Amino acid sequence: MSIKIAVIGLGYVGLPLARLFATKYPVVGFDINSNRIQELNEGIDSTLEIDAETLNNVLVSSLSDSNGLLCSNTLEDIANCTYYIVTVPTPVDKNNRPDLTPLYKSSETVGKVLKKGDIVIYESTVYPGVTEEECIPVLEKVSGLKFNVDFFAGYSPERINPGDKEHTVEKILKVTSGSTPEIGQKVNDLYKSVITAGTHLAPSIKVAEAAKVIENSQRDINIAFVNELAKIFNLLEIDTHAVLEAAGTKWNFLPFKPGLVGGHCIGVDPYYLAQKAQEKGYHPEIILAGRRLNDSMGEYVASQVVKLMIKKGVAINGAKLLMLGITFKENCPDVRNTKIVDVVHALQDYGIEVTIFDPWARPSEVHHEYKLTTTDELPTATFDAIVLGVAHKEFTTIDLSKLKKSNGVLFDVKGVLKEKADGRL
């Protein structure tokens, strides 16, 4: 069987993967967003994961048997592919319940073109069982084909770290799996052919699904622990960062720092594992406790800022505050599930006027997602308080003293500013 790959979903995960596979195979990058397809065909990646030169080096206008990447939103363009790799988001709804809608819809799309002998690989983060119990039935229903007889499946969880130019997709070891031992080996060989860091073939799809969801749940719990320490040490008037630095001199101390836990993985994945556990009659305690604590940090940061403002004699109602950053992490334009929004809303509840400055975030995207107004140009006014919420590299070179009133407050959420802050986590 000749290898021709379709990557379904060209976001932070799908595009880097499609680009990498396209260096060795013919690849169709499929996305329902026509604007996204147009910008990619012009060599522009708004997620900033792939630079224009690298993208243009693999782009092709039509697909042949040689390597190259064709970006398309036309179903017919993926009809002749033999591998379908699904890399769509797996969010939670307003009640923090897993929303599998993108997976269902992408499975319907693949089902329309699925042929005998094809292999469908899912990369989206899910709870154990989603691939075989939720996605496969959709593929069978739409295609009319029988699973593990006519077509096969695999699961290889994404490990993309948005904005990280060091740990790129080919440099991160890849977990793989298949619906049969033979298919598992085929899936593993496919990824091994482009992943220089190597692969790990899991014994089953469910093991691979579980491995992914606990990676981020583990980080979430560890960050929740240091966030709780930050709350305790603030009450004791002890510098949390100094404590962590001292404790970090022990060889096996884990270097986690307090902060706001957002994004499309760490702030979401634990809910997927909790959902599956609850379906089986088990109520997870540590996982959900960590989530509750981390979800409370936005309001906690706002309350700490307000307390500092009161101590300095700043009138809270009508006060002007500059928020530095709105993305969920530094040096990245991704605003999905950013917890800075929680801080902003809490500050606004106090009657504070918040100006949001972020040179990385697109104002139109922020407004679409959160109905918040942002600017990508540094304001020239002075403020009663400044909160550094995201550690963008640009923020470390700004002379904040020119933006802060004489009795103004400077709060450093990330603990990265060179100048002395009035408070930090």
Among all residues, which ones are annotated catalytic?
A: 265
Rounded to whole angstroms, how far apart are CA atoms 23 and 288? 42
Decide: 344 and 372 in contact? Cβ < 8 Å: yes
Close Cβ partners of 323 (under 8 Å, ≥ 6 residues apart): 340, 343, 344, 347, 354, 355, 356, 357, 387, 389
- Residue 420 DSSP class: P
Can you name the residues that pair with 26 across neighbouring β-strands?
Answer: 68
* Residue with tokens 């499929």, as numbered in its chain: 30
CA distances from 30 to 38, 61, 228 (A): 12, 14, 43
Close Cβ partners of 312 (under 8 Å, ≥ 6 residues apart): 407, 408, 409, 422
Tokens linked to 361: 């975030």
3-class DSSP assignment, residue 176: strand
Close Cβ partners of 347 (under 8 Å, ≥ 6 residues apart): 302, 305, 306, 321, 323, 354
Rounded to whole angstroms, how far apart are CA atoms 177 and 131? 11
3-class DSSP assignment, residue 406: strand
Decide: 154 and 120 in contact? Cβ < 8 Å: yes
